[in-house]
Amino acid sequence: MVTTTVGVIRESDPHENRVSLTPEITTKLTSQSITVLVEHGAGAQALIPDSEYEAAGASIVTRTDLFSRCDVVTCINAPNEESRTLMREQQILIGLLQPQQDAELVTQLCQRKVSAISLDLLPRQLSRAQSMDALSSQANIAGYKAVLVAANSYGRYFPMLTTAAGTSTPARVLVLGTGVAGLSAIGTARRLGAIVTAYDVRPQARGEVESLGAKFLKLSSVDSAEGSGGYARALTQQEKQAQQQELSDHISKFDIVITTAKVPGGPPPQLVTEAALDAMQPGSVVVDMAAGPWGGNVALSKANETVTVSDNVIVIGNDNLASDMAPAASHTYARNIAAMLRHVLADGEPSIDATDDITSATLVTHDGATVSPAVTVADDASAVVTSEGPAS
């Protein structure tokens, strides 16, 4: 009997600690007569030793051996240059490939005739795709972690505490963007005892915010930016400027600001200006969850750095906070990968059905051609204000 071989590569990004499959999922795959190969050390940063994969039925191999033998290769981020040269025709690659940001990757995948499936292109409004929704599973963890990072840098209490020495006032937290990450941040900050306010350009977000016990900030400058499928539409330049100005007037009232507004394939919108940072109180903390190669939601924020700006305001830039909780994030991501594997392994063998709505949306390259329209997203997509769209 011919069996499918699935490979798990070690991530090459020094800031990436997650792994795409865990021993739990490996056990399920091997029980279905699927061969699993794991690159040596793939799970080390997620605190998973090679021995646990071996106990789950996997074989530990070199990267070269893995690519030469696997039908399907799983990853978190797109493979590096070395790995791309090892990919071969009809191999299936599954991960958060972000093809809109890497034209060279798409070209190389076409040249190698690799069938590349990018989970960040998943049509999240489809109910049957929810188990594959890696963006949501990782955003939920990142939103939680963002609050913990903020609390660790904030020099005061989050909750109101009454002691013999007096009463401390609770922290005032503002969350900008109420997609999955934003809602997770709201819930976490509330559980820590903070007074939480949140803002989103989608009017229906108000009910979600208030159901978590937070206050919804309504701006008069942008009445509604409702888009299709529960996502926000792009703001006009005039709306963006008015939004920034009105937000700046409110931001100075908060001790902690968490921004979550990412844009797939484009630069994120700036929501917190230098003027807003200047108006914040000393010791205030801003966590920019969109800070990356193309900038962030916060002026002066830098990817993977913590900087002190203005009058001792701390700005933390990190668009990959899920990686800082690698064991938990790998656990949920592996389940997303397992769901996608069930989808593409029809009758236990690799099968790419380009007419399927999930496959057609996530398939970037196939048979030597680029098949995804998402790699040609318009430049003005950066005007979108919310990060992940509707909470799932």
Active site residues: 124, 130, 133, 136, 231
Instruction: Decide if 166 contacts 141 (C-beta within 8 A).
Output: no
173: Cβ contacts below 8 Å, ≥ 6 apart: 147, 150, 189, 194, 195, 196, 197, 254, 255, 256, 257, 258
Instruction: Decide if 387 contacts 139 (C-beta within 8 A).
Output: yes
Structure tokens, 113: 């005739």
**Residue 144 to residues 184, 190, 332, 379, Cα–Cα distance (Å):** 6, 11, 14, 30
Q: For residue 171, give the DSSP letter.
A: P
Structure tokens, 269: 């919108």
Q: In what order do the strands lie in the sheet with 115-118?
A: 59-61, 35-39, 5-8, 72-74, 92-95, 115-118, 363-366, 369-370
End-to-end alpha carbon distance in the chain? 39
**Residue 369 to residues 102, 328, 357, Cα–Cα distance (Å):** 16, 36, 18
Q: Tell me the backbone φ, ψ of residue 120, rounded to 5 degrees.
A: -75, -5
Instruction: Decide if 41 contacts 66 (C-beta within 8 A).
Output: no
User: What is the C-alpha to C-alpha distance for residues 3 and 61, in angstroms, rounded to an integer?
Assistant: 18
| Nearest partner of 200 among 230, 238, 228, judged by Cα | 230
